[in-house]
């Protein structure tokens, strides 16, 4: 029942008012819970995931709930992006284009990018709209395995 209601909400997001404390992001997502993913290429070392090597995000594999939100916060002193990658494993060479440097998308299932996050900057809150595994990476440091994964249930 809760899942059905969440799905209904995601289709009419602008008119939906979930219970609990509302968080309004620049992207307009209203969610009660936001998972913060910290971003730093120097602070968060490489780890192995089923999708391949990941690095530079904390947590590098984030477990989140459908109906909640995800926000990237750059705690580094250099710029990064968190940009969605389609598929179930990280491509050997970067699939990301310069478009990654512009903020886009509002929900995980339809693709997203934080845009270039300067030191200390936060992305919009992206809605966790559907169950699944979502891969993303940094446009600037993809070849250095700066990548992460979101598992939504």
Q: Is 15 exposed, middle or buried (0-12, 13-18, 19+ CB in 10 A)?
A: exposed
Cis amide bond preceding 59, omega within 30: yes
Count of residues near Cu ion by CB under 5 A = 5
Q: To the nearest whole angstrom, how small is the minimum distance from the Cβ of residue 80 to Cu ion?
A: 3
Which x/- pattern, by CB under 5 A, does the window 111-140 give for Cu ion?
Answer: ---------------------------x-x
CB of 99 to Cu ion, least distance (A): 16
Binding flag, residue 70, Cu ion (CB under 5 A): no
Question: In what helix (H) or strand (E) does residue 3 lie, and over which residues does it extend?
Answer: helix 2-11
Q: How far is residue 67's CA from residue 60's CA, in Å, rounded to a whole number?
A: 20
What is the closest distance, in whole angstroms, from the C-beta atom of residue 87 to Cu ion in the complex?
20
Nearest approach in angstroms of CB 86 to Cu ion is 19
Q: Does 141 bind Cu ion (CB under 5 A)?
A: yes
Q: Is 54 in the site for Cu ion (CB under 5 A)?
A: no
Using the 8-state DSSP alphabet, how is residue 113 labeled?
Answer: B
Distances (CA, A) of 146 to 4, 46, 54, 113, 132: 35, 8, 6, 14, 21
Sites for Cu ion among residues 80-109 (CB under 5 A): 80
Tokens 């995601």, located at residue: 10
Applying CB under 5 A, the residues found at the interface with Cu ion are 80, 138, 140-141, 146
């Amino acid at each position: 029942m809760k899942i059905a209601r969440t799905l209904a909400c995601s289709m009419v997001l602008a008119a939906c008012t979930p219970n609990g404390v509302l968080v309004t992001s620049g992207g307009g997502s209203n969610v009660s819970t936001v998972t913060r993913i910290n971003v730093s290429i120097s602070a968060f070392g490489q780890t192995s995931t089923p999708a391949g090597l990941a690095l530079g995000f904390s947590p590098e594999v984030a477990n989140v709930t459908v109906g909640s939100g995800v926000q990237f916060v750059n705690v580094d002193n250099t710029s990064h992006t968190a940009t969605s990658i389609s598929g179930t494993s990280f491509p050997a060479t970067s699939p990301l284009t310069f478009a990654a440097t512009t903020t886009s998308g509002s929900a995980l299932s339809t693709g997203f990018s934080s845009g270039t996050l300067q030191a200390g900057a936060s992305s919009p809150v992206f809605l966790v709209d559907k169950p699944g595994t979502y891969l993303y990476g940094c446009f600037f440091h993809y070849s250095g395995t700066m990548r992460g994964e979101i598992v939504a249930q």
